[in-house]
Amino acid sequence: MAHLDFITSVHTKTKRDYLKRVNEYPKAEAAKLAKKFDFDYWDGDRKTGYGGFRYDGRWVPVAQKLAAHYQLKAGQKVLDIGCGKGFLLHDLMQTIPGLQVYGLDLSQYAIDHSKEEVRPFLKQGTAAQLPYADGYFDLIISINTLHNLYCYELDQALREIERVGKKNKYLVVESYRNEEEKANLLYWQLTCESFCTPEEWQWWFKQTGYSGDYSFIYFE
């Protein structure tokens, strides 16, 4: 298990006005719409989600770093839990021709509007119940997804990741190190259910036997 940061460069490209987020539109109403994980979340107004989740190539460097670090090869199997529209899986396929990719997401809307090249490899489902055999995947990734689970679902999801994966696993979750980052996270998030410090995430990993790598997103 190691802390590996492949994601901060993507996260920090977005400029965020935290106070505007909570003042321009009723936050509870925005969260209700976002948690449907439908049009409003992916392609609706920025107040209720991404404001248009479109492919722009920003995940290419992440795919390249993952492929290099985990020495991915053609024929190996990679699962992305919370794959959204499959952009990262698409870029992994481009980086390693012949890689077998699988994507799982709660949102049928995201799958229906995913990259055409990866759509056949995506399915709707929950991280707490992975429909795959023990030790099936050479690499499991989950980026900005697990913090959207309630604690009882999070416990199950981490155990499921450990069950269906082999050695290599990498997840990214939102976290906070101080009161300012905690406030910013609360202001900005729309779908988060597990608000944890790095120490608390480490507790979850130990509690569930998660043995993979990880990184944290901070709202500075």
Measured between alpha carbons, how far is residue 154 from residues 28, 51, 96, 128, 163 in Å?
A: 23, 27, 31, 7, 14
Structural domain including 90 reads: 8-12+58-217
Q: Judge whether 35 lies within some domain.
A: no
Number of domains in the chain: 1
* CA–CA gap between residue 49 and residue 191 (Å, rounded): 9
Alpha carbons 84 and 104: distance in angstroms, whole number: 8
CATH number, domain containing residue 176: 3.40.50.150
* pLDDT tens for each residue of the chain, 220 residues long: 899 999 988 998 888 999 999 999 999 999 999 999 999 999 999 999 999 999 999 999 999 999 999 999 999 999 999 999 999 999 999 999 999 999 999 999 999 999 999 999 999 999 999 999 999 999 999 999 999 999 999 999 999 999 999 999 999 999 999 999 999 999 999 999 999 999 999 999 999 999 999 999 999 9
Q: Residue type at 205?
A: F
CA–CA dist 86, 208 (Å, integer): 27
Is 87 within the bounds of a domain? yes
Q: Is residue 167 part of a domain?
A: yes
Q: Is residue 82 in some structural domain?
A: yes
- Give a yes or no: residue 29 inside a domain: no
Say what the pTM is. Answer: 0.96
Give domain status of residue 156, yes or no.
yes
- Kindly state the DSSP code that residue 132 receives in the 8-state scheme: S
Q: Is residue 99 part of a domain?
A: yes
**Residue 168 maps to a domain:** yes
Instruction: Tell me 3's DSSP state.
Output: B
